[in-house]
Amino acid sequence: MWTVVVKRTQIFGLMGNKENQNLLTSYNLGNIARRLLFGILSMGPIPDHIAFIMDGNRRYSKKNKLEEGTGHNLGFTALTSMLKYCYELEVKYITVYAFSIDNFKRRPEEVKSLMELIREKIESLIKEDSIVNQHGVRVYFVGDLKLLDDSVRLAAEKAMEVTAGNSKAVLSICIAYTSTNEIVNAVEQSCVEKWDELDSSTKNSISVMDVEKHMYMRVAPNPDIVVRTSGENRLSNFLLWQSANSILYNPAALWPEIGLRHLVWAVLNFQRNQACLETKKKQQH
């Protein structure tokens, strides 16, 4: 924290006194207003787990006539802000859909560029001053990681190892992931585990609990809220097993445009429907 304060002081010291004061006032007021807002939200139930489908990075670039890849870079900045807000609100679990298995079907040069960008952003997550370390976040990479380039897979494995001791929150990054792949893999693993127990005369030898035990997303509870930006109403093969009782929120904003107001609206919508969701969960059990 002291390092951050010193850096801000050095930056503001280069500006004129009036501009300096205006920036400090704006920064402080913004922080105070956000804390007051979160304090009010905290009077109601806060979701344990929010999942994000980060849709619209490419469309943002086209819409604003930016170079290819710029939207994804700005999307990472948007993700960092969203993580900060969620952790300040004490949401313990965040899951993001970073790269689908289907995305490998895109142009080879685009896939290569995205893989390089993903590796770069993974490496930035474990820097000392990263948001992950500031908030004590454990990072998991969820999906069929053997499909990744070696450099990306090794970076992901290192990030998981380095953050293994963090326990305040969990960030799950779905990469080389689809829900159908996750389910098939979980069923296959369940079959392998119970092969010796299987009998042609035995029915229902593999239970829901057996399958869930082998899910990639076993590292987090089912999401309370699934947010998909760009106004799309599809889950696009994301957490299909886990989202049966999730609140779905589909703001029209493209992912780089997502902001605090979208998170607040999603949480308010969750709070309004939370009692009904709890009733449904109890009925299922």
In 3D, which of 174, 99, 161, 175 has the Cα closest to residue 132? 161
CA distance 190 to 198: 11
CA distance 72 to 68: 9
**Low pLDDT (below 50) residues in the chain:** 1-15, 24
pLDDT of residue 74: 95
Asked if residue 57 lies in contact with residue 254, where contact means CB atoms within 8 angstroms, the answer is: yes
Tokens of 3: 């390092």
pLDDT of residue 6: 38
Tokens of 51: 């999942």
Tokens of 149: 């380039």
| End-to-end Cα, the chain, rounded Å | 45
pLDDT of residue 22: 56
What's the pLDDT tens digit per position in 96-151?
A: 999 999 999 999 999 999 999 999 999 999 898 899 999 999 999 999 999 999 99
In 3D, which of 230, 264, 228, 232 has the Cα closest to residue 246? 228
Tokens of 273: 């429907």
In 3D, which of 131, 134, 170, 175 has the Cα closest to residue 152? 175
Instruction: Give the pairing of strands 49-53 and 225-228.
Output: parallel
Give yes or no: 55 in active site: yes
pLDDT of residue 204: 57
CA distance 68 to 70: 6
Residue 147 per-residue DSSP state: G
Asked if residue 220 lies in contact with residue 172, where contact means CB atoms within 8 angstroms, the answer is: yes
Asked if residue 234 lies in contact with residue 228, where contact means CB atoms within 8 angstroms, the answer is: yes
Residues in the chain: 285
pLDDT of residue 26: 55
Amino acid code (one letter) for 252: A
What's the pLDDT tens digit per position in 205-215?
A: 788 999 999 99
Asked if residue 241 lies in contact with residue 95, where contact means CB atoms within 8 angstroms, the answer is: no
pLDDT of residue 27: 56
pLDDT of residue 31: 83
Asked if residue 186 lies in contact with residue 212, where contact means CB atoms within 8 angstroms, the answer is: yes
Choose the catalytic residue: 55, 129, 149, 210. Answer: 55
